[in-house]
Structure 1
Amino acid sequence: MKTLTILLIVFGSAFIIFASDIDIFFLQQTKFETKFETNLTKEIFNSFSINLSKNDQNKLHKKISYSKIPILILSNEDKLTNYPNTKYIARNVGRGKTTVYFTTESIDFFTKNYLIKLKMEEGNLEEVEAIGKGTLDTKITSMIGKDESQWKHDIKSYSGIVYRNVYKDVDLYFSVSKNGNLKSEFLVRNGNYEQIRTRYEMQTKNSGENQIKKDQNNGEIFYRDGCSEEEEISRCQFEFREKAPLIYQNGREIEGQYKVEKNVVSYLIEGDLLEKNKAILIDPEFSIYVGGSDEDEGMAAAIDVDGNIYLAGKTFSADFPVTSGAYSETLSGNSDGFLAKINSTGNGISWATFIGSDDEDQIVAVKLDSSGYPVVAGTTNMANGPSPFPTTSGAIITHCDANVTGFVTKFNLDGSALEWSSFLCADTSANINDLVLVNDYPVVVGKVFITKFTTDGSDFSAVNCFGGSDNDVANAITLTSAGNLVVSGSTNSADFPIINNGYNSRGTDTDCFVAKLSGSDLTTIFTSALGGNGFDYALDVATDIYENIYVSGSTKSDNLPATADAYQQAFSDNLNLFSGLVFKLSYNGIRLIYLSYLYGNFSQGQSFSSTSIATTTDLVYISGHGDCFSQYTDSYNFFNASATNTTAKGYIAVFDQVFFSLVDTVQLSEFFSSMNAYSSNGILVTGSTTDSLNATSGPFGEYFGGVFDSFIIRISPCDKGSYRPNAFSFCELCAVGTYKDSVGNNQCTDCIAGTYNPNLGSISADNCSLCPPGRVNPNTAASSLDNCLYCQRFYYAPDPGLTQCLACDSDQFSSISRTHCIDKLNASSFIHFGLSSLLFALFFLLFFVF
């Protein structure tokens, strides 16, 4: 990844930027704009512009063209500016001479002769801390004056900042928009937008009325200096104008307007248009769209060590956003597979390519090898024809007699060429359903087969075709922490083999199966089966660090062995519909640990399924289809769920790994195709949507395109010192009195008794300070030195960090500092001596004076 080195050199008040790939031009500027696009979670998007008079522009001497210089959000911890109470600075806002100071009291926009201060009326801005988000690789140096010791090196820069809880459950974000402007967002988690009241304070060279007004014609708010409302803008010395707000909830636009009262701006929204107490943004890191004007479906995703995301699937869109120089820039058939590399911030595509034949093709799985090369697997409908799916010379299978077959393909690093590509032909259907890499060896599963390729695709390393005499299909495969493989699927074979005492609870129709195999030679370690009096399908599988096995799927059986602690124990199949299913097996496949149904309101004639499952350090994530959890909205934090939501198509539910209690869930109108864990606590979810899924802003994928668009959601692990209040919220700083010394989504740890911690976001137990000698604290999670109480008169605390005071002997009492005890006799003698000395001193003084 290229690192952009930027040197900020400041001589007096001139601010000059040098960069390795930025040109510097000196010319006269005629206009600049600063835009704000504000998202109230009922998202409220605003934009404003600032216009200087030509006279003021000409007073600025040499100018820099800012058209190629990015906005820089810099930390002020190295004291880049003496502007009061500044935590962060944004340079080059609006491609002009505007600097934004993010202070503890307001957000201040400063340009030549004009200052606009935004304050949160009756808010908590002074009590919350601004936090940098998205640390950049940009290297910045500030060289002010001739004294090199005062120069600043490696100044931290960010893609955005956030003020947490500027109002109750309201966060204020700032970031760089796709147009290179500074963007702000209000995230209103509880839907209570009425509390947001922004005061605009204008300080200009005009001593006249500094009032912000509302334009009754277009709903905009504005302030002018040096001209009247009716005059042309060219006659103004200064104009501030903010466009009418755009308001969204649940992906739909809602009509609203500004309310202006003496420079305090709030929002008016029709009450019956809103769903009360609803938060909108469900993705704490980012969600983006990839798609063209037709149908697109994201079916798999992977993430590399740098945080770049690889999204794969199928598309019918000829205008899908492939990049120049990609392996294939043209849609070949009715539908093609696609692979896109998305940068780590989610605001751009590094590269994207089609791959396919003259018929229909799709990629169902993508993995990255140890060198970062993407390996994909899928199915093509044209392996034999005039324009078949592409294979490469030297691959084990380059031609099939049958048209429908699976393929495995390895791309080069920039998506411009194939390293190798092979078919997987068979006498019967050879569709591929999933893929893993075992030490860079691709292993694929499908109908009655598990196949391991060599790393160059030139041969098969191992093959296992276990199963019975009827129809058996492996739907998913995962790699365990010990390097073994676990496969889940469905069997119709009455003679399906149960190996090594695997759990066996067969039903009367299609049943679930689970098999564990050696990662080296695909030798079967055990098989197990589970079913009831209906159809049962195992659709996905995951494991934890102990190799316990988690399976998700769907069922029509109403007599499955649900465990006593099941989330839903009973299921009625009287409407001939499917329920979702989740169960957990022991690492050796012998014991059923947990089984539960997952379903919602069948009165809408909707079946349910649990299509994907993934595990993190301590949680189990399940995604599926159907409005499974809306009836429990009063009990849990369901962002988009409602008992009357008839449009819900997908859900994600989060369970505790140990007790399998429901932790959190979200209901959406999206179809989820796959979900997988990365690192130990991150989750990637892919699928397709027909709605505008609150995508985070960026030059790529911000708007919904076709009938279906692909999407990807990344839920990243929280850094040290932060945690998630629930599974789908933003990471928040650990509270005072607590700390978190690991990366992940686990909760913060209380400081032990005898200590206190007044700081937010602590990353170590060392941040918990010991109560000083003479003071004790019997409680955990103390937030202040005031929680360390002084010992009473006959008690003492000789050491720091004590939880209770020690008693002095009967002939003692404690010292004034309460750190030790004093003998009463010695104390009396000392007091007597002190009084005598005092009287003698007074007598001597009186004698000397008189």
Structure 2
Amino acid sequence: MQNIMTDPLLLNKIKLPLSFVANNGQEDSRAHFSTSIKNRRIFFSSDRITLVELEPIEESFPEPDDFPAPINEPDEPRNGVALELSFTNANASLAPEGISQLPGHHHFYRGNDSTKWNNGVPHYKELRYPGVWDGVDLDLSGSKDGLKMNWVLDKPDRISTIRLHWAGADSLEIDSTGNLLVHHALGTLTDLAPIAYQEIEGERKPVDCVYRLYDSFDLGFELIGSYMEDLPLIIDPIIAYATYLGGSLTDGCSGIAVDTQGCVYAVGSTNSIDFPVTPGAFQTSNAGGSDVFITKFSSDGSSLIYSTYLGGSGSDTGNAISLDTQDCAYVTGATTSANYPITSGAFQTTAGGIFVSKLAANGESLVYSTFLGNAGSRALGIAVDFQGSAYVTGEGGIIPTTPGAFQTTPPSSVSSIGFITKFSDDGGSLIYSTYLGGSSSGHCNGIALDSYNYAYVIGMTGSTDFPVTPGAFQTTLIGTGAFVTKLSTDGSALVYSTFLSGSSYDDGRSIAVDNRGHALVTGRTTSIDFPVTANAFQITIGGGSDAYLTKLSPGGDSLIGSTYLGGSQHDDGYGITVDELGHVYVTGHTSSPNFPTTQNVLASVLIGAPDSFISILSSDLAHLLVSYYLGGSGGDTGSSIVLGPEGAVYTGGETSSANFPVTPGAYQTTLNGTRDAYITKTGFVLYRQASVEIEGWF
């Protein structure tokens, strides 16, 4: 290990995405380009790539402001390690080339001598090493979360010429799943098993490919599957993380959120008295049989920024989480604890079945915490607007309503009914609160907001007189069905409300809204006549129950797309989100060995029953872009999916699998109890290869 002193650099104040900066004299002359990723600096020379990693400095919480402060490295030396990836016997006069120059420039000022300042240094979106070996090019791109390397071969037999050497590493290892582990003094660098494919008649066909170790520090690639000998081949490694989270008993994650720095916040429930908590967190011990937990991970998934219990002496269940612009976490769920932590001035300080709590950004205190409703009520969804108002939905018993709200009294015939409640930003009062239901029991499961603060909810009802609006897509209920409702901004009226069901049993579990006001929903259906569209990816039910995905028009009067998603057994959609281009992301669980997957992206098979799944569909729900199983030999369920910076995909759920595919260097790599929560982050590079539809994202 070396002590490495870094020069302080005054960088542009606006935070830029990862790019490749040309060397105009500000770096060692051997480097043609450089870039930075977290605690790593990477230098691109003619025949090698050098990675310098420093021990991380202590995390801090910057003041919220429009632009981050200039970045300055500390003056003190820090332990570091330098790794070199060199190209053995590469062609002479090899040099990287910048591709796609980006707008703006970098400016470097060292010391007081202005003759040594470097102004207007260009930076590029991609790098290319042309002709590393005959017929072999290397393309590099990336985001702030990682570096993507594509080896492009003009024909497959060129693969034998690729020979890479790692200098500065302690050892190289290929794990049981084919990942390359580069062990070094500060930890482990992980590259997932390589993905190879060929372009054949406009489609990407997978080719089985593995890393091959030649000796202790030299490696290459080997093709082990069939391929077309005269067509080009692309090898595409990726980087991601996956971690357990839990103590020695039962733990599960029901919701996640992610901030602008790529830090995941997870909420769920734990029975473990040794659930991992952090010093100084709000509550560091379990107060009852089941407590809520809230955990914030570092952006690389290797450590906890904070982790706390939240609960009283009864049973407390965390069901949903959302963040405000200051990175305060808002959580909600159900409680039977009369001594659940409540703050003075909260809206309801007497015991009730629901809690709504706002945690400070550092996880050390409650900004506010309140009960809501009576015993037996529970909250299942939460969203927060830009003003810091929390919107909560679920099912009551008795929920306080506000004058002028859409539905201020529940039918006398029901024991449970949906509700939507909007809190003031200090949690001390209600802006609006309304029931939503008919004469049979029902509930709301999920809530989402659009940019105008209209609340959209999804749920399940057995009420034929559930409030639907004239002209809505489906105004008649046949069986027990899902519903989708858009509420006015003051909670006084329905903008639209529609059933979404067939003739059997259908449940609505999760909802998202895109930037054009389309509601995207998922859940479970057992109906062979569930409403699907003619061009849907899957127009018939696959088995006993399927997940479904549906996209409603902005007015709720028609379907833009609607599809089954499932195989021959039980499948269920639990979490949904949408990106700026309209691609739809869903997670849940499946027991079907023939669940629809895309083998050309990530080969996977059903291991347990059930396994989680992650799927991405086109904006019209007509094409499956990415789909794979995620799990081990136990039971695995994906409960929540969100997008983070640079398109990274995050999922949370629960697993009883001792062989869940966690990654080296992740915070928790072993199953601690009978069931643990899990968190995964998949770099966007995984999906860039799935379809040309997504290629414009960088």
Q: Which of the residues 639, 662, 668 maps onto 1:673?
A: 639
2:267 is the alignment partner of 1:339: no
2:620 is the alignment partner of 1:658: yes
Instruction: Tell me which amino acid in the other structure corresponds to 2:425.
Output: T
- The answer (yes or no) to whether the contact 1:506–1:531 under 8 Å persists in 2 is no
2:466 is the alignment partner of 1:492: no
The 1-side partners of 2:337 and 2:611 are apart by 34
- The answer (yes or no) to whether the contact 1:121–1:197 under 8 Å persists in 2 is no
C-alpha spacing 1:337/1:150, structure 2 compared with 1 (3 Å): same
State the shift of 1:328 in Å: 0.8
C-alpha spacing 1:662/1:264, structure 2 compared with 1 (3 Å): closer
**How many residue pairs align between the two structures?**
584
3-state SS, counterpart of residue 149 of structure 1? helix
- The two structures have a TM-score, normalised by structure 2, of 0.69
Q: Which of the residues 248, 251, 268 maps onto 2:176?
A: 248
Structure with the bigger RCO (C-alpha within 8 Å, sep 6+) is: 2
- The answer (yes or no) to whether the contact 1:617–1:680 under 8 Å persists in 2 is no
Deviations 1:140-174 (A, max 9, x none): 8655xx955215699999xxx99999897998999
Equivalent position of 2:218 in the other structure: 265
Q: Which of the residues 79, 103, 112 maps onto 2:25?
A: 79
Deviations 1:231-285 (A, max 9, x none): xxxxxxxxx985463423178999999534xx9934799989xxxx999977x66
C-alpha spacing 1:141/1:408, structure 2 compared with 1 (3 Å): same
Q: Which of the residues 48, 52, 76 maps onto 1:106?
A: 48
2:416 is the alignment partner of 1:468: no
- The answer (yes or no) to whether the contact 1:140–1:156 under 8 Å persists in 2 is no
State the shift of 1:432 in Å: 0.5
Equivalent position of 1:412 in the other structure: 360
State the shift of 1:105 in Å: 1.0
- The answer (yes or no) to whether the contact 1:639–1:667 under 8 Å persists in 2 is no
C-alpha spacing 1:482/1:166, structure 2 compared with 1 (3 Å): farther
Structure number with greater Rg is 1
Equivalent position of 2:345 in the other structure: 394
Equivalent position of 2:369 in the other structure: 421
Q: Which of the residues 541, 545, 555 maps onto 1:571?
A: 541
Instruction: Tell me which amino acid in the other structure corresponds to 1:597.
Output: Y
C-alpha spacing 1:679/1:251, structure 2 compared with 1 (3 Å): closer
3-state SS, counterpart of residue 747 of structure 1? helix
C-alpha spacing 1:408/1:101, structure 2 compared with 1 (3 Å): closer
Where do residues 522-541 of structure 1 align in structure 2 (5 Å cutoff)? Answer: 522-541=492-511
State the shift of 1:75 in Å: 6.2
Instruction: Tell me which amino acid in the other structure corresponds to 1:412.
Output: A
2:532 is the alignment partner of 1:586: no
The 2-side partners of 1:123 and 1:595 are apart by 53
- The answer (yes or no) to whether the contact 2:448–2:512 under 8 Å persists in 1 is yes
The 2-side partners of 1:307 and 1:696 are apart by 17
The 1-side partners of 2:315 and 2:565 are apart by 33
3-state SS, counterpart of residue 448 of structure 2? strand
2:508 is the alignment partner of 1:546: no
Instruction: Tell me which amino acid in the other structure corresponds to 1:392.
Output: T
The 1-side partners of 2:308 and 2:381 are apart by 21
Where do residues 835-850 of structure 1 align in structure 2 (5 Å cutoff)? Answer: none
The 2-side partners of 1:337 and 1:323 are apart by 15
State the shift of 1:553 in Å: 0.9
C-alpha spacing 1:245/1:615, structure 2 compared with 1 (3 Å): closer
Q: Which of the residues 353, 360, 371 maps onto 2:315?
A: 360
Deviations 1:160-205 (A, max 9, x none): x99999897998999999xxxxx99999999999758546699xxx
Instruction: Tell me which amino acid in the other structure corresponds to 1:355.
Output: L
Q: Which of the residues 429, 451, 462 maps onto 1:459?
A: 429
State the shift of 1:490 in Å: 0.5
Equivalent position of 2:485 in the other structure: 515
- The answer (yes or no) to whether the contact 1:378–1:407 under 8 Å persists in 2 is yes
The 1-side partners of 2:152 and 2:273 are apart by 38
- The answer (yes or no) to whether the contact 1:598–1:628 under 8 Å persists in 2 is no
The 1-side partners of 2:258 and 2:441 are apart by 34
Instruction: Tell me which amino acid in the other structure corresponds to 1:118.
Output: S
State the shift of 1:417 in Å: 1.0
Equivalent position of 1:625 in the other structure: 589
The 2-side partners of 1:461 and 1:671 are apart by 35
3-state SS, counterpart of residue 567 of structure 1? coil
Instruction: Tell me which amino acid in the other structure corresponds to 1:436.
Output: A
C-alpha spacing 1:80/1:354, structure 2 compared with 1 (3 Å): same
- The answer (yes or no) to whether the contact 1:444–1:450 under 8 Å persists in 2 is yes
More strand by share: 2
The 1-side partners of 2:643 and 2:447 are apart by 14
CA RMSD of aligned residues (A): 5.2
State the shift of 1:368 in Å: 2.1
Equivalent position of 1:234 in the other structure: none
The 2-side partners of 1:647 and 1:164 are apart by 47
Deviations 1:668-721 (A, max 9, x none): 114211123468956442223435665566573466554444333446779xxx
3-state SS, counterpart of residue 466 of structure 2? coil
Instruction: Tell me which amino acid in the other structure corresponds to 2:173.
Output: P
The 1-side partners of 2:219 and 2:552 are apart by 55
The 2-side partners of 1:320 and 1:126 are apart by 53
Instruction: Tell me which amino acid in the other structure corresponds to 1:79.
Output: G
The 2-side partners of 1:124 and 1:595 are apart by 56
State the shift of 1:312 in Å: 2.0
- The two structures have a TM-score, normalised by structure 1, of 0.58
Q: Which of the residues 574, 590, 595 maps onto 1:611?
A: 574
Instruction: Tell me which amino acid in the other structure corresponds to 1:651.
Output: F
C-alpha spacing 1:83/1:256, structure 2 compared with 1 (3 Å): closer
- The answer (yes or no) to whether the contact 2:570–2:592 under 8 Å persists in 1 is no
State the shift of 1:544 in Å: 2.1
Where do residues 633-782 of structure 1 align in structure 2 (5 Å cutoff)? Answer: 637-642=600-605, 649-658=611-620, 660-669=622-631, 670-677=636-643, 683-689=649-655, 690=657, 698=665, 700-701=667-668, 705-714=672-681, 724-726=688-690, 746-748=694-696
**Contiguous gaps of at least 5 residues in structure 2:** 10-18, 53-81, 100-106, 182-192, 194-209, 226-232, 396-417
Q: Which of the residues 259, 263, 270 maps onto 1:315?
A: 270
C-alpha spacing 1:457/1:595, structure 2 compared with 1 (3 Å): same
The 1-side partners of 2:440 and 2:46 are apart by 70
**Contiguous gaps of at least 5 residues in structure 1:** 1-13, 21-72, 132-138, 178-182, 203-239, 730-744, 750-760, 762-850
Equivalent position of 1:820 in the other structure: none
State the shift of 1:474 in Å: 0.5
State the shift of 1:524 in Å: 2.1
